């Protein structure tokens, strides 16, 4: 019997080479792999010549993929295995197919399906839908609900959170996103090629390089475009700068939430210094405009190299000292420790990725498992911290900040020349697939690009790490005080727009 086959990260694959299984075989094999520790990387539907098909990419120690014809209704995989949960909800919303027996089937992003099929959720999309659905409810005399959002108190993205509480204690947090749905996946299939890099960069602004790289690598793989070493080094530096700025910002925000204001302010400012280093590289604080298929649009000339080196040397001791200040404060530890624990077992079941997964003892890191760009030549340490609480999530960030600084310093001194690219999009070959994975600062970002028989984009599937991790936040909140929510939320700092797409 044909089975899931191994595929490379960021390689060109002929669609004909992907096994097309009978649905039952597809389902049984996928469940087998995931029950034996495999994780879901991509699981999505697409229309091909009037037929709806599934494609799934799983990871064990390697990436494996297979497809099948999609039935209009099918026995849910989630009912046996949690990591399929959101993927099945997403497909029900996008294509109007119903996973029978799904334990909590509700909308993801509130939009009409792509095929004009009857809506699985019985929504009327001529009406305003958001907020209009049955929340998960807990009943009892002492139970009360706290509803927050979509407009939050701070300057942050919109989402709706509903807490079921008994007194101060949270029994359950239900998270409903979708408010930022911009139709990104549909746009990617329709727009002129010149808009693709801009769209990729703007799926989640704080993950500009992460998503930009996935897009660039997918196009490069399909169009057989070679990227020179200099560009690979610059992209690696840019991805690490993105990681630094975000981790530092989040550590500062965590201090703000436990009212330890000095490091909150220092890291607020230092985060800006790292954003400015991205601006130094490419003219934009978030790295927009840097990565394009074929390489980078800005080189690392001697002047930039020197400024970058000088600034990092100046910032490094400051970062180290503020980290010492945070992690030596007993007040900070008292609030971080024991707060919002996600066990290794739960994290494994949910399929958490990135720092959130590592803080629960899962050592998975795309940079080590499926390295791209310059990571194959770099030492990326393992950072698992088994305790799974806010403290662990802060510790993972601390370690990664220090490691990223070292990685960047080790790369600056390599005077490798780069051929700057124009940003022109190459033509794509017909009937091909490329799946790319990168370790962005929140974890595994993955793009899957399929072309049709004329080389046009048939389906462009995007997965932000937040897609895996939002349920981790809900899990962390169970049985904690509701006043610990901000602290837990910041320790994950998940993307709304990356999820909403």
Partner 1 sequence: MLSVLKNRFEQGYRTCNYPKEKPAVFPRYRGRPDINKDADPSVIQACADACPQDAIDVDKKRIDMGRCVFCGTCERVSEKKFVTFTRDFEIATSSRADLLTDGTLPDLARHSKQHFKKLFGRSLQLRQVSAGGCNACEADLNVLATPFFDLARFGINFVASPRHADAIVVTGPVSRNMKTALLQTYEAVPEPRVVIAVGSCAIMGGPFYGSPEVAPGLESILPVDLFIPGCPPHPLSNLHGLLRFFK
| Closest to partner 1 by CB, 59 or 109 | 109
3-class secondary structure, 36: coil
Interface stretch with partner 1, choices 147-155, 161-169, 388-396, 402-410 (CB under 8 A): 147-155
| Closest to partner 1 by CB, 173 or 300 | 300
Which residues in 322-351 contact partner 1 (CB under 8 A)? 322, 324-325, 328
The candidate with the shortest Cα–Cα distance to 291, out of 211, 398, 407, 228, is 211
Among 54, 286, 467, 499, binds partner 1 (CB under 8 A): 286
Interface stretch with partner 1, choices 24-32, 216-224, 262-270, 411-419 (CB under 8 A): 262-270
DSSP letters spanning 79-141: TT-GGGHHHHHHHHHHH--EEET-TT---SS----TT-PPPTT---TTS--TT-S------ST
- Is residue 189 within 8 A of residue 447, CB to CB? The reply is no
- Is residue 228 within 8 A of residue 402, CB to CB? The reply is no
Q: Is 408 in the site for partner 1 (CB under 8 A)?
A: no
Helical packing angle, 208-223 and 229-257, nearest 10°: 150
Q: Is 368 in the site for partner 1 (CB under 8 A)?
A: no
Which residues in 195-234 contact partner 1 (CB under 8 A)? 195, 197-199, 201-206, 208
Q: Is 457 in the site for partner 1 (CB under 8 A)?
A: no
Token pair for 53: 């098909």
In whole angstroms, the minimum distance from the beta carbon of 276 to partner 1 comes to 7
Which residues in 78-137 contact partner 1 (CB under 8 A)? 109-111, 128-130
Q: Is 268 in the site for partner 1 (CB under 8 A)?
A: yes
Which residues in 436-455 contact partner 1 (CB under 8 A)? none
- Is residue 352 within 8 A of residue 85, CB to CB? The reply is no
| Closest to partner 1 by CB, 223 or 264 | 264
In whole angstroms, the minimum distance from the beta carbon of 101 to partner 1 comes to 28
The candidate with the shortest Cα–Cα distance to 365, out of 296, 298, 442, is 442
Among 26, 84, 163, 179, binds partner 1 (CB under 8 A): 179
Distance CA 329, CA 496 (A): 32
Among 88, 157, 220, 257, binds partner 1 (CB under 8 A): 157
Interface stretch with partner 1, choices 14-22, 191-199, 221-229, 368-376 (CB under 8 A): 191-199
The candidate with the shortest Cα–Cα distance to 178, out of 126, 239, 128, is 128
- Is residue 13 within 8 A of residue 432, CB to CB? The reply is yes
Q: Is 379 in the site for partner 1 (CB under 8 A)?
A: no
Distance CA 302, CA 237 (A): 15
- Is residue 4 within 8 A of residue 60, CB to CB? The reply is no
Interface stretch with partner 1, choices 49-57, 98-106, 153-161, 469-477 (CB under 8 A): 153-161
| Closest to partner 1 by CB, 171 or 325 | 325
């Amino acid at each position: 019997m044909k089975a899931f086959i191994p595929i490379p990260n960021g390689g060109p694959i002929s669609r004909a080479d992907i096994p097309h299984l009978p649905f039952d075989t597809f389902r049984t094999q996928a469940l087998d792999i995931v029950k034996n520790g495999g994780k879901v990387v991509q699981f999505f539907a697409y229309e091909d010549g009037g037929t709806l098909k599934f494609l799934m990419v799983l990871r064990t120690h390697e990436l494996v993929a297979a497809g099948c014809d999609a039935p209009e209704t099918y026995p849910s995989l989630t009912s046996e295995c949690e990591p399929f949960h959101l993927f099945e909800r997403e497909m029900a919303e996008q294509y109007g197919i119903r996973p029978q027996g799904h334990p909590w089937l509700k909308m993801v992003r509130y939009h009409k399906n792509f095929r004009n099929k009857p809506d699985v959720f019985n929504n009327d999309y001529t009406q305003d839908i958001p907020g209009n659905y049955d929340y998960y409810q807990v009943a009892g005399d002492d139970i009360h609900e706290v509803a927050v959002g979509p407009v939050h108190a701070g300057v942050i993205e919109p989402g709706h959170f509903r807490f079921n509480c008994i007194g101060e204690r949270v029994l359950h947090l239900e998270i409903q996103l979708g408010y930022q749905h911009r139709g990104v996946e549909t746009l990617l299939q329709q727009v002129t090629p010149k808009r693709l890099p801009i769209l990729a960069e703007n799926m989640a602004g704080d993950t500009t390089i992460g998503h930009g790289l996935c897009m660039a690598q997918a196009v490069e793989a399909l169009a057989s475009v070679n990227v020179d070493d200099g560009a690979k080094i610059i992209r690696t530096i840019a991805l690490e700068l993105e990681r630094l700025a975000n981790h530092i910002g989040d550590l500062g925000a965590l201090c703000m939430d436990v009212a330890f204001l000095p490091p909150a302010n220092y890291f607020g400012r230092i985060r800006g210094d790292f954003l400015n280093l991205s601006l130094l590289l490419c003219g934009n604080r978030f790295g927009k405009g840097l990565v394009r298929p074929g390489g980078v649009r800005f080189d690392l000339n001697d002047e930039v190299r020197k400024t970058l080196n000088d600034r990092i040397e100046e910032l490094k001791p400051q970062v180290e000292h503020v980290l010492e200040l945070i992690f030596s404060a007993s007040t900070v530890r008292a609030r971080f420790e024991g707060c919002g624990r996600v066990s290794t077992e739960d994290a494994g079941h949910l399929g958490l990725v990135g720092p959130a997964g590592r803080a629960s003892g899962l050592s998975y890191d795309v940079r080590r498992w499926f390295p791209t760009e310059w990571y194959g030549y770099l030492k990326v340490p393992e950072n698992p911290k088994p305790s799974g609480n806010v403290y662990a999530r802060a510790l993972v960030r601390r370690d990664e900040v220090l490691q990223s600084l070292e990685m960047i310093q080790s790369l600056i001194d390599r005077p490798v020349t780069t051929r700057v690219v124009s940003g022109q999009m190459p033509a794509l070959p017909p009937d091909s697939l490329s799946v790319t994975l990168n370790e962005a600062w929140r974890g595994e970002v993955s793009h899957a690009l399929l072309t049709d028989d004329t080389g046009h984009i048939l389906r462009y599937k995007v997965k932000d790490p937040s897609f895996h991790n939002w349920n981790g936040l809900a899990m962390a909140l169970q049985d904690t005080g509701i006043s610990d929510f901000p602290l837990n939320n910041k320790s994950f700092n998940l993307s709304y727009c990356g999820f909403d797409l």
